[in-house]
Amino acid sequence: MKKTTTRRTQAISALTIAGLTLAATLAGSLPASAATERGDESYRPAIHYTPMKNWMNDPNGLVFYKGVYHMYYQHNPSGNTWGNMSWGHATSKDLVHWQEQPLAISTDDQEDVFSGSIVVDKGNTTGFGTPENPALVAIYTSAYKDASPHRGLQAQSLAYSLDDGQTWTKYSQNPVVSRNTANFRDPKVFWYTTPDGGGYWIMTAVEAQEHKVVLYKSGNLKDWTALSEFGPANATGGQWECPDLFPLAVDGDTANIKWVMVVNINPGGVAGGSAGQYFVGSFDGTTFTSETTRPAATLPAGTVLAGFNDGSYNGWTVNNEPGNRFNGPFGTSPAAGALPGQQGVSGFSGAGLVNSFIDHDWAIGTMKSPAFTVSEDYLNFLVGGGNHPHSGSRLDNSPPPGELLFDGFEVPAGATLADSGWTGVGDLAPQFQPFGGGSDYAIGAHLINTFETNGGGDEKQGSLTSPEFTITKSNLSMLVGGGKRLNDPTQVLAVELLVNGEVKRSVSGENAGALNWKSWDVAEFQGQQARIRVVDQATGGWGHVTVDHVMQTDAPAVPRSDETTVNLEVDGQVVRTATGSDSETLDLASWNVKEFAGRQARISIIDNNRAGWGHILADEFMLSPEPAHSTLESYDWLDYGRDYYAAVSFGNMPENKRVMLGWMNNWDYANDIPTSPWRSATALPREVKLTQTPEGPRLSQSPVKQVDKLAAKASYTDKVGGPIPAGAQQLPAAASGQVQRVDIKFAPGTAKKSGITVLGDGNSSTLIGYDATTGKIFVDRTRSGNTAFNATFASIEDAPVTLDTSGNVTLRIYLDHSSVEVFTQDGLQTITDQVFPTAGADKMALFSEGGTAQLKSLTVTPLDM
């Protein structure tokens, strides 16, 4: 057993961390204590919880007890990226002003402490407390380490607190539930009252990769009996995580109770990557029965171009990777479903499909259809597999024209870089380089690899500097792979250009093993002497960098497209493209091809990715007069943005309210967001209700009332409205701000797109509006400021809405330095996105594209802690 010790609590309310500026820190004008305790960092939220420092992810153990809301959360007490999983802790009396508490439940040599929940054991069913002083009992996932006899497994364990959640003791007979599997996790526990007034504890957890919620019952939280399973159902990409099951009255009618099953999913969300879906149904104490599980959608009628159901590729040109031992990735004929080593494949039609999982995710190749004439308005098909979009026409890694430096590191046998004038320190002393074992997409046998140095490993550190060379061309291009540490100054991991001893350019990998071309514009340094320096101060996962084939080139090298895509080619050019959603379930896709009517076209299927989800699934290409509609979008989602995940509800709430709290991040880029010394925030706490809709009861969400109590006097109001002509109409300075609530009502009119821009500076902003061509509201963060830290971040998220009877769209938007949360249709649809605006960007404007919209009303209200 291990019991945590109590230390002095430090306050970290949103008010205390919002008011200082980054410029003041850089200027050194604040005392060290202020910078440490108050928080003056760029992007630090004002009204969302963040830990003072270090990494956080899933909210855990949400519970209300003795007038205090307790929020525990996945936390790395030792660093600003995922690792060392423990439970952090914060408390609040109003769900808005949070005070960070000491670390609650810590990792140790046997286990990491993964997600879970907390109950108040009022009946002392465990015997840990007394009826007068009941224990708080945490039910968490033990993720066992190599030192444990359960290594590699995940199981459910207990810890308890007798001092109102401040210190915790792990139960001596853990684990209490094990299935001897590696992905059994995230227990959410509640007390179920039976019709006769009795009851028992219910646990929902997941078999993550089987897309199942597993239910158990217990009378004492220690001994558990399996009840039932739910799933797979609806969205089944990636893994299921963080389930929750609770009852709600429809429209407040206690005679009409429905049960809601929340299942978070990563990847495979509606907007890409992480997301939360939910089901509405019934629960009888044993089994949850969904009333909102969707059947597989069907393609509209049309002319079949390829169905892959006759056992052949029927005229398609197939180029499998030469020399691949299994003739992958496509083989010589369609697959009948899943291939060896693959999760179950579903959503395809007929007897066969294209499945490039032969040789797992390693093999690469292409397929191209025979030419056909575009004779209908739409080309519909089914697509699944990896989410790796088309990013250019280059599929190989051949070098561009130019001058190769350092002989490409191809040293003679027995030689090292020390023999050619390189210098270095630590584990990168030149006698340890280059590495001669090659690498994914390297050219030749040798390259610099800071993992393979002085014994090897991600913990190796040092620097390696080239001899001088003269810059003779406009660009320096090189192959780079390995890790990325852009946001932690203590973990520099980069290839640098030194001119006169100063760092002028820097580049890193993308947390990937495959090397790809990266380039620097060095025209301003032509004729000057320079050096290349490789710096590795990083430890932990991806704590290394790889470099090969440094070249001087007239033009920047074209990066290889690591795509897994289905493309439409007209005149040899890609004019439409689609990719999977990191899911083995194929979804409907549709291209509007009216503009190509009567022209010849081909379909190409590309698998050019060797990493995770490096395969593509495709089936049933059909020309049709009607578009297909994504099945994924038809499911019920907690949020349509990229940054609302692992949402679960508070237990032991007064008045049976149901308040949910989510992690405001996405695993696609979570470790890379440009924040320091902390990383990640929670979304605003939301009260959820069931609202009757034409489709049946659905969740509606709104920030808890305490959030709106932060509202100051409105700073800008327009109750008259007026036309919004095409273009952007800057709003007065009174509307500017980074922490505010924006209430806007507008009619799209003749505009194709219309709405409001926020967090702008004249060159960048975030667009929030309505797209009349799709019938959806959207958040466009493609030009929102800093988007370059991860290739998947710049994006547009959207959600279907119905205009009101007057043809209006009504939005309530919460802005907070580095996030936007949009609520519409009385909370039936929401979009939550992180944004990282340029310093000082706080301007607001109305916009319209392709016509004139009509503003009906606008109120901007500052929010102040």
**Cα dist. 440→53, 71, 321, 337 in Å?**
36, 43, 14, 29
Helix or strand run (H / E) with residue 595: none
The pLDDT score that the predictor gives to residue 587 is 93
- Of the pLDDT bands very low, low, confident and very high (cuts 50, 70, 90), residue 468 is very high
Helix (H) or strand (E) holding 420: none
**Active site includes 488?**
no
Of 852, 594, 605, 623, which Cα lies nearest the Cα of 729?
852
And the tokens for 452? 């393979």
| CA–CA separation, 306 and 843 (whole Å) | 51
What is the overall mean pLDDT for the chain?
Answer: 92
Question: Coil, strand, or helix at residue 655?
Answer: helix
| The pLDDT value given to residue 13 | 31
How far is Cα 50 from Cα 98, in angstroms, rounded to an integer?
A: 9
Q: How many CA atoms lie within 13 A of 666 on its CB side?
A: 28
Average pLDDT of span 805-820: 97
Q: Say what the pTM is.
A: 0.86
Q: Which of 110-119, 481-490, 673-682, 796-805 shows the lowest per-residue confidence on average (mean pLDDT)?
A: 481-490
Does residue 30 register a pLDDT over 70?
no
- Quickly state the pLDDT bin for 512 (edges 50, 70, 90): confident
**pLDDT exceeds 60 at position 10:** no
Per-residue pLDDT reduced to its tens digit, 238-277 = 899 999 999 999 999 999 999 999 999 999 999 999 999 9
- Taking 90 as the threshold, does the pLDDT of residue 620 lie above it? yes
pLDDT value of residue 788 = 85
Residue 567 buriedness (CB in 10 A; 0-12 / 13-18 / 19+): buried
And the tokens for 103? 């670390």
Output the CA–CA distances (angstroms, integers) from residue 685 to 59, 273, 664, 704, 824, in the order listed: 11, 22, 11, 6, 17
Mean pLDDT in residue range 281-291: 98
Cα separation, 494 vs 496, in Å, equals 6
| Gap between the Cα atoms of 663 and 332, Å rounded | 45
Catalytic residue, chosen from 58, 112, 186, 361, is 58
| The pLDDT of residue 47 | 97
Q: What kind and span of H or E run contains 357?
A: none
Given pLDDT bands bounded at 50, 70 and 90, which one contains residue 40?
low
pLDDT band at 7 (very low <50, low <70, confident <90, very high): very low
- pLDDT tens for residues 684-704? 999 999 999 999 999 999 999
| Residue 139: both structure tokens together | 């039910």
Burial of 3 (0-12, 13-18, 19+ CB in 10 A): exposed
Question: Pairing relation of β-strands 475-482 and 545-553?
Answer: antiparallel
CA distance 238 to 235: 9
The model's confidence at residue 204, banded by pLDDT at 50, 70 and 90, is: very high
| DSSP class per residue in 445-478 | S-BEESSSSTT--TT--EEEEPPPEE--SSEEEE
More confident position, 413 or 29: 413
Q: Report pLDDT digits (tens) over 303-347.
A: 999 999 999 999 999 999 999 999 999 999 999 999 999 988 999
Cβ distance 140 to 157 under 8 Å?
A: yes
State yes or no: pLDDT of 478 exceeds 80.
yes
At 585-610, the pLDDT tens digits run 999 999 999 999 999 999 999 999 99
From 551, 555, 578, select the one nearest 567 (Cα to Cα). 578
